[in-house]
Structure 1
């Protein structure tokens, strides 16, 4: 009959606690970057959007999840009691009107900066983890 071998590494509790803290810090830093970039993309989209009454511009909103690291920028929906159903048509075109994209180009314009800033958050977390 064999018996299991157990090993316990001293200091593990502190290490696990530090890693859990770093994970939360990293998530908070990443969430901060996502919020800043979503705001920047929304501002860019507001500058790019064709304006007639301004209703479509008012519906451009950034969103970042508090629970997950999801972020988006949306346009359309209700604004001041007005249903701005046509956001999709402006972005993608209709049979009678050509596309006048504003969301997609805004996202693309900030794609590399967003990626670089999130990568920097990850590298900083790794650096802090290595240096202690």
Structure 2
């Protein structure tokens, strides 16, 4: 890094200041652009692991009647975004919402919320580990 004092000296009224040039910035940007897909894939892998852990815990702890809710809890992901959704999306699985939030007659028996809270503390470590593996 090179520094050069502008005109006007130190604190003069000449409108000067300090100019900073960072040498090697173009090479750094190019390297970061190369790493970005690797880091993104590593973070996505960690996200999938965490989403699967939440899905598995929800399936294990959901109230069992016909086993439909155990078998139909799924994780879905959005392409190009680090985002996962875990839950029940089939029309036949409306009952899961009643269990999660309760109704006037059914007390809440949440499984997704507690599963997510249990995983919340682990996801940062998962992402960090996967990114470290991806770094050359």
TM category (shorter chain) comes to 0.7 to 0.9
Deviation of the 1:24 alpha carbon: 1.1
- Output aligned runs, 1:17-96, within 5 Å: 17-78=30-91, 83-96=92-105
**Contact 1:42/1:61 (CA < 8 Å) preserved in 2?**
yes
Deviation of the 1:17 alpha carbon: 2.6
**Contact 1:31/1:64 (CA < 8 Å) preserved in 2?**
no
Equivalenced residue count is 115
Name the TM-score, length of structure 2 as normaliser: 0.72
Higher gyration radius (CA): 2
Alpha-carbon distance in structure 1 between the residues aligned to 2:101 and 2:115: 14
- Output aligned runs, 1:99-110, within 5 Å: 99-110=108-119
Name the TM-score, length of structure 1 as normaliser: 0.74
Q: Per-residue CA shift, 1:39-87, capped at 9, x if unaligned?
A: 1110011000001011122221012222111112112424xxxx22111
**Pairwise CA RMSD of aligned residues?**
2.4
**Contact 1:76/1:86 (CA < 8 Å) preserved in 2?**
no
SS in 2 for 1:32: helix
SS in 2 for 1:98: coil
Alpha-carbon distance in structure 1 between the residues aligned to 2:119 and 2:59: 14
Alpha-carbon distance in structure 1 between the residues aligned to 2:129 and 2:22: 34
